[in-house]
Amino acid sequence: MRRNAQGFTLLEVLVATTIMGIAVAGLIAGLSQSAKNAARLTDYDRAAMLARTKMNDLLLDAGLPFEGRLEGSFDAEQSGGVRGGWRATVEPFDVPPNAGPGTVILQRVGLEIWWTPADGRRRSIPLEGYRQATIPIPAGP
């Protein structure tokens, strides 16, 4: 006697459920990694924009010292709530051998933008720019 059964056996349902569980777990892991990458890239893009803006500000600043170091931090509003700041080094670059006060030379501005994202690891972007500067005349006695 042969039974005419309709539907799936218990074994078939268990195998299908296991396969679907593995597939869903893989999809969730992939989505989680994508979200982490998107957040990381957002932080990096924001830092790159802040770096370009700060470098432009420094290159156009008439009151920038001839030589020295400067540093500061970004407001939380500017940096999207991520703690960050900048450090700049200003120095003469490629000075002619007999250059004296009043001589126009090339000045190097080195800039490092740093930020600390949610993972706690400090990251940075180095930049370098050049501008014309005049060798200062020493102040008299």
Structure tokens at 14: 């268990």
Give the CATH architecture of domain 10-134. Answer: 2-Layer Sandwich (3.30)
Q: Within 10 A of 54 (CB to CB), how many other CB atoms are there?
A: 19
**Segments making up each domain of the chain, as ranges:** 10-134
Strands (E), the chain: 68-73, 83-93, 104-116, 123-134
Query: pLDDT tens-digit profile of 56-104?
Result: 999 999 999 999 999 999 988 887 888 899 999 999 998 888 888 989 9
Structure tokens at 97: 């051998």
Query: pLDDT tens-digit profile of 108-128?
Result: 999 999 988 878 889 999 999
